Amino acid sequence: MLKEGDKAPDFTLIADTGEKISLKNFRGKKIILYFYPKDNTSGCTAEACDFRDNIKVFEKKNAVIIGISKDSIESHKKFKSKYKLPFLLLSDENIEVLKKYNVWKEKSLYGKKYMGIERTTFIINEEGIIEKIFSKVKVKGHIEEF
């Protein structure tokens, strides 16, 4: 179970650009690492667009935004293009990073249990330490928490 003050687990995943991206590549920058359930769904689209619309605020703080879901690279490319998202979307189809960050959880919908991504945002400082964890994120108002 990760907690604030822990070193953020490193990983390497494929981005929507096709390149391999490692967390360690961003040392020296603050990272807003957000895990979201699915491309092109209402909550996930609203969350991504909130980050997009506030990108300048994050850039002024020397921060990069990185989104991760289980969706494929192709899905990410379409999602990013459709909403003109100015940040990387990484694909974790094997759910390895989702498990490392403890966001792959049992969920319930209409009484039916299933495994899925619990919407979570990690703020990781310039040295790779987790500064803040927002669990069970509610999209509305989340952007104001930064």
Q: Please say whether the beta carbons of 55 and 65 come within 8 A.
A: yes
Task: State the pLDDT at residue 142.
Answer: 86
Predicted confidence band of residue 93 (pLDDT cuts 50, 70, 90): very high
Task: State the pLDDT at residue 143.
Answer: 85
At 60 the three-state DSSP class reads: helix
Backbone Cα Rg of the chain: 14
7: pLDDT strictly greater than 90? yes
For residues 84-100, give the mean pLDDT: 98
Task: State the pLDDT at residue 131.
Answer: 97
Please tell me which residue, 74 or 143, carries the higher pLDDT value. 74
For residues 49-72, give the mean pLDDT: 96
Q: Using one digit for the tens of pLDDT, what is the confidence trace for 9-33?
A: 999 999 999 999 999 999 999 999 9
Task: State the pLDDT at residue 67.
Answer: 98
As a whole-number percent, the residues of the chain with pLDDT over 90 amount to 90
At 96 the three-state DSSP class reads: helix
Spatial neighbors of 121 by CB under 8 A, at least 6 apart, are 32, 33, 34, 35, 133, 134, 137, 142
Task: State the pLDDT at residue 44.
Answer: 96
Q: Whose CA is closest to 30, among 59, 67, 55, 68?
A: 59
Task: State the pLDDT at residue 106.
Answer: 93
**Is 44 a residue of the active site?**
yes
Query: Poorest-confidence range of 47-51, 72-76, 139-143?
Result: 139-143
Spatial strand order of the sheet with 88-91 comes to 20-22, 12-15, 88-91, 63-69, 30-35, 120-124, 130-134
Q: What is the 8-class DSSP label of residue 40? A: T
Spatial distance between the Cα atoms of 94 and 46, rounded to a whole number of angstroms: 25
Spatial distance between the Cα atoms of 102 and 54, rounded to a whole number of angstroms: 27
Predicted confidence band of residue 72 (pLDDT cuts 50, 70, 90): very high
Phi, psi for 143 (deg, rounded to 5)? -60, -30
Catalytic residue, candidates 8, 32, 33, 44? 44
12-139 belongs to which CATH class?
A: alpha beta
Phi, psi for 93 (deg, rounded to 5)? -65, -25
